[in-house]
Amino acid sequence: MTITQEAPLQAPSRTPTHNQASLIVHGRDRTGIVAAVGSVLSKHEANIVSLDQYSDNPHGGAFFQRTVFGLDNLKAALPHIDDDLKARLGTGFELEFRLRDLSIPHRVAIFASKADHCLLDLLWRHRRGELPITVAMVISNHPDTAGEVRAFGIPFFHVPSAGPDKSAAEAQHLALLKGNVDFIVLARYMQILSGGFIAEVGVPIINIHHSFLPAFIGAGPYARAKERGVKLVGATAHYVTEDLDEGPIIEQDVVRVSHAHTVADLRRRGADVERDVLSRAVLWHSEDRVIRHENHTIVFA
């Protein structure tokens, strides 16, 4: 009997984004913004691939816009487009903007503790080409996942972080992270980050909280959900702020549960939701689809 080695399934390739850039514009709404952005892109003969926008008050509130455009000589043109946007939007408008070459993946550090389901799900999706990121490293306060992470060819750093004083651990984190990553993902990392660390690291931090916030903030949400007799459990991906689990929500989802489910059942059913919610949040952030505004987000998914 001959055993043939099936060719590995080709990872689903994401829509090619070579020679494409995203432009995020947000600020005070007024007439003329769309025309101003369009005139700059038109000057550079950029082809608008997609455009999403939202105003939170048609009579002059906040304005949010995401444009994806293509250009053959994108890398050479981007600095000139940036200069022209600064000139065009810099007078008469109260706006911020950011340009990003979509062919350049974000560099990401993933933090984890003992639970491995969200961490491994991200690494597996990354290996399949589903997430346009480069996983620069994994940092964990436990050694448990070292072997699995290294099997993906990704550096793993065990940085213990027990007790109330996290300063030594955070100093090690900063030494690894500063200038080396574009954003951080807490994949069920069970340590509270200090405000000083969040400010010092200076990049967005995405956390997956294992409840449908604002319910069950903090530790042990599944046990508290069982105690409360909930009929849904869920997960919330949010940006991390100093206030525990209070940061701007990026994505959420839920799954039905019943009185017959144990806490272990809730954890198992919730874990699937955590994985899906976190991966969508990481994808949307890595494609520059999320705009933070006050304690909310606008997501052009």
| Under 8 Å between Cβ of 168 and 135 | no
In the complex, what is the shortest distance from the CB of residue 240 to ligand LMY7XDAE, in angstroms, rounded to a whole number?
Answer: 4
Residue 193 interacts with ligand LMY7XDAE (CB under 6 A)?
Answer: yes
Q: For residue 225, count other CB atoms closer than 10 A to its CB.
A: 25
Of 69, 156, 189, 216, the one binding ligand LMY7XDAE by CB under 6 A: 189
Q: For residue 201, count other CB atoms closer than 10 A to its CB.
A: 19
Complex with ligand LMY7XDAE: residue 61 or 218, whichever CB lies closer = 218
Of 207, 252, 279, 286, the one binding ligand LMY7XDAE by CB under 6 A: 207
* Ramachandran angles phi, psi of 18, nearest 5°: -65, 145
Complex with ligand LMY7XDAE: residue 74 or 273, whichever CB lies closer = 273
Complex with ligand LMY7XDAE: residue 24 or 249, whichever CB lies closer = 249
Residue 240 interacts with ligand LMY7XDAE (CB under 6 A)?
Answer: yes
Please report the beta strands in the chain, taking only residues with DSSP state E, as ranges in sequence order.
Answer: 20-28, 47-55, 62-70, 95-101, 106-112, 133-140, 156-158, 183-186, 205-209, 232-239, 249-256, 290-293, 296-299
Complex with ligand LMY7XDAE: residue 132 or 248, whichever CB lies closer = 248
With contacts defined by CB under 6 A, name the span among 1-9, 19-27, 183-191, 288-296 that binds ligand LMY7XDAE. Answer: 183-191
Q: Which residues are catalytic?
A: 245
Residue 19 interacts with ligand LMY7XDAE (CB under 6 A)?
Answer: no
CA distance 115 to 183: 21
Cis bond leading into 132, ω under 30°? no
| Under 8 Å between Cβ of 185 and 108 | yes
The stretches of 32-73 forming alpha helices (DSSP H) are: 33-43
| Under 8 Å between Cβ of 284 and 301 | yes
- Count of residues that interact with ligand LMY7XDAE, criterion CB under 6 A: 15
Residue 252 interacts with ligand LMY7XDAE (CB under 6 A)?
Answer: no
| Under 8 Å between Cβ of 68 and 101 | no
With contacts defined by CB under 6 A, name the span among 37-45, 70-78, 123-131, 237-245 that binds ligand LMY7XDAE. Answer: 237-245
Residue 209 interacts with ligand LMY7XDAE (CB under 6 A)?
Answer: yes
In the complex, what is the shortest distance from the CB of residue 215 to ligand LMY7XDAE, in angstroms, rounded to a whole number?
Answer: 12
| Under 8 Å between Cβ of 88 and 40 | yes
Complex with ligand LMY7XDAE: residue 72 or 165, whichever CB lies closer = 165
Burial of 172 (0-12, 13-18, 19+ CB in 10 A): middle
With contacts defined by CB under 6 A, name the span among 13-21, 56-64, 115-123, 238-246 that binds ligand LMY7XDAE. Answer: 238-246
Distances (CA, A) of 57 to 35, 61, 170, 291, 295: 19, 5, 41, 17, 17
Residue 190 interacts with ligand LMY7XDAE (CB under 6 A)?
Answer: yes
In the complex, what is the shortest distance from the CB of residue 138 to ligand LMY7XDAE, in angstroms, rounded to a whole number?
Answer: 16
Residue 275 interacts with ligand LMY7XDAE (CB under 6 A)?
Answer: no
Binding site for ligand LMY7XDAE (CB under 6 A): 186, 189-193, 207, 209, 218-219, 240, 242, 244-245, 247
